[in-house]
Amino acid sequence: MLVDKYVHMSAAGLTRSTLTRAGLAIVALAAVAAGLGLSPASESVDAAPRVPVYDTAWDMPFWASLGQVDQYFDHLQASGYTGVWLSVMNHTGGGLTGVSPTLGTTQATFNNNQFDLRTNYRDRFRQILDRAQARGLRVGVVPVWGHGYLHTNRNGACDGTNQGPLQANNSWEIGREIAQAFANHSAVQYWILGGDNFCSPAENGSIWANMAAGLEAGGANQPMTYHTAGWPGRHLLFADQPWVDFLSPQTAHCIPASEARRDLTNVVNATNKPVFAAEMRYEAIQPEWQCQTHGPGNPVRPADVRDDTQAALDAGVNAIVYGHNERWQWGKGVNGSQGGGWNSVRASFGAGGETAMLQLLGASSPPTTVPPTQPPGPSTRIEVIARGTTGSERIELRINESTVAGYNLTTGFQTFRFDASGQVGASQIKVAFVNDNGPRDVVVDAIVVAGQRFESEAANTRSLGSWDGSCDLGFKRTQALHCNGFFHYGQSGQPSTSTRVDVVARGATGTERLELRINDVAVRTFTVSTGFQSFGFTASGSVSPAQVKVALINDDGTNRDAIVDKVIIGGQTYESEAPSVRSTGTWSGSCAPGIKRSQVLHCNGFFHYGQA
């Protein structure tokens, strides 16, 4: 246990900054264990594991509905988990441009040094933290996953080649904003920087040091760690840095337990900081990359998970982080996943390796039976008839905004079948295109629900992602999705009530990019010239000024500014400089929110009308 380790070491190597960040008084080294949630060996707690044990559900906040979150956390609580590791920014949902299916918006905008979490995504993440807290679960939060945001190619260099959006000159601001959003939540136990980065050479350490400083500036006082790539040569990367409070090396998915024991023992012996076995072989994973021990048709089996757990205990680690291939990605079809979304996640509860691991650790035994993919009772057969244009397209079937299945398309029409529990109507169904990259397009001929056919080009099918000058939401009368989006069936045709919204704006350089948002959903994006132009959108139903925002999204800190003269909503004009308009991004000593009485957005931000 951690306390035993610290009782036999000198306090000289533990810095005051580390203790302060962990929220600890310099009174005893055992207090570090408390800050990380590591209990003394003398404590006896019913159903408590021998060492803390965490699950990984990196992408759950992006994909899951709150109902799914509740069921998942119920499983963790009943099984004796200490908590879970979650990522703010997604891995599998398209990164910054990905649209969360349960919220209908992206997670954030990120332009050079300006990083802005969307309000509804921030609120959703806090709701997830609330649910964890209600069950006594602790959360390790990953602000930005290194693998997905340091570079654009998994094996791309981190020295500028294939460079991604995360850089040393903006990581401080990202850390600060994420801390401001979540650091004051009592469910947050610590922060996990880095993440699965295999690029060569290793990334610039100032990226993570700056992010750590930004987290602190935003109010974070929880411990921090750096989660390494799986190579033994990376296991001690940044281990000596003052912002690293504990180590979380990854032994990864391709080595046997004997080698994992060796590598973890080497890490434990090389440091006086706590060590978490942070990513051993994920149960059921079938790596799509070259892997000697596992791969397509040769998944990680329950015995492998148990052997890895014993190896970690033998090495003397202070906590174990479990992973299941369906859960980390929320059933998205990667590395041998069944691609069934929530159904695949739910079916993983009580998996053989998870059961063996928890029993070995002495935690509560998880359910001995796996919940069925569909609960008993009446069901509805749903068929999706679709094809791709390149043969690499992927679609998802969604019912009541929850992803229930995913399918890879060929260039010929295929029929995909799914049996949904209960009675399901067409208006509850969406078919979504999720991996557009430019050349990819999806053609959805129709869906068939309980024998009744619903055409994608029908007047009562609404789409987001069908091009008719834009990929905006509307009734497009087409079978094609050209952008990431969806068909939503049974929508009763074009509503008789609609509202025209026009934006009159120009840019300072002619390269400014604006979004029209209704209820915090971007419904149209456009680039403005240096002369005033009018851009319109017809929204279904009635729209009030308080539902409308006009946002600048590509300020780069140079000369880009947006001048928004007015919006016209249902024929009524609303001036941007009116006292009823609140702006974020208008400079008046800062770009902070306020009633600025101005037409200009100098920073990424927005005008919000009808705020009197």
Cα angle at 476 between 471 and 479, to 5 degrees? 90
Tell me the C-alpha to C-alpha distance, in Å, between residue 441 and each of 317, 383, 388, 458, 485.
48, 20, 6, 19, 11
Q: Three-state secondary structure along 189-206?
A: EEEEEECCCCCCCCCCHH
Read off the pTM.
0.58
Residues of 467-483 as b/e, b for ≥16 C-beta within 10 angstroms? beeebbbbbbebbbbbb
pLDDT number for residue 37? 60
pLDDT number for residue 554? 87
pLDDT tens readout for residues 111-164? 666 778 888 889 999 999 999 998 989 999 999 887 777 665 444 455 555 567
Give me the amino acid identity at 48.
A
Mark out the alpha helices in 191-256 (DSSP H runs): 205-217
3-state helix, strand, coil split of the chain in percent (to 5) is: 25, 25, 50
Q: How far apart are CA 146 and CA 242, in angstroms?
A: 20
pLDDT number for residue 30? 40
Structural domain boundaries of the chain? 2-29+53-361, 379-488, 498-608
pLDDT number for residue 202? 65
SS3 386: strand
Question: Which residue stretches of the chain have pLDDT < 50?
Answer: 1-33, 39-48, 153-156, 365-376, 495
pLDDT number for residue 88? 92
Cα angle at 493 between 491 and 498, to 5 degrees? 100
Both tokens of residue 266?
Answer: 């080497």
Q: How far apart are CA 138 and CA 38, in angstroms?
A: 12
Q: How far apart are CA 375 and CA 101, in angstroms?
A: 23
Q: Which of 196, 205, 202, 249 is nearest to 225 (CA)?
A: 249
Ramachandran bin of 238, using left for φ above 0, alpha for ψ from -120 to 50, beta for the remaining angles? left
SS3 83: strand
The sign of the dihedral angle between the CA atoms of 293, 297, 300, 301 is negative
Domains 379-488 and 498-608 share a fold: yes
Residue 375 burial (CB count, 10 A)? 10
Q: How far apart are CA 171 and CA 214, in angstroms?
A: 7
pLDDT number for residue 431? 95
CATH of 498-608, picked from 3.40.640.10, 3.30.565.10, 2.60.60.40, 1.10.287.110, is: 2.60.60.40
Report the chain's mean pLDDT, rounded to a whole number: 82
Ramachandran bin of 565, using left for φ above 0, alpha for ψ from -120 to 50, beta for the remaining angles? alpha
CATH for the stretch 379-488 = 2.60.60.40
Cα torsion 516, 519, 520, 525 to 10°: value is: -20
Whether the link from the prior residue into 201 is cis, omega within 30° of 0, is yes
Do residues 357 and 305 touch, judged by C-beta distance below 8 A? yes
H or E element that contains 369: none
pLDDT number for residue 435? 83
Cα torsion 70, 76, 80, 81 to 10°: value is: -120
In the CATH scheme, what is the homologous superfamily, with its name and number, of domain 2-29+53-361?
A: Glycosidases (3.20.20.80)
Both tokens of residue 56?
Answer: 């990984």
H or E element that contains 377: none
H or E element that contains 532: none
Both tokens of residue 537?
Answer: 């959108």
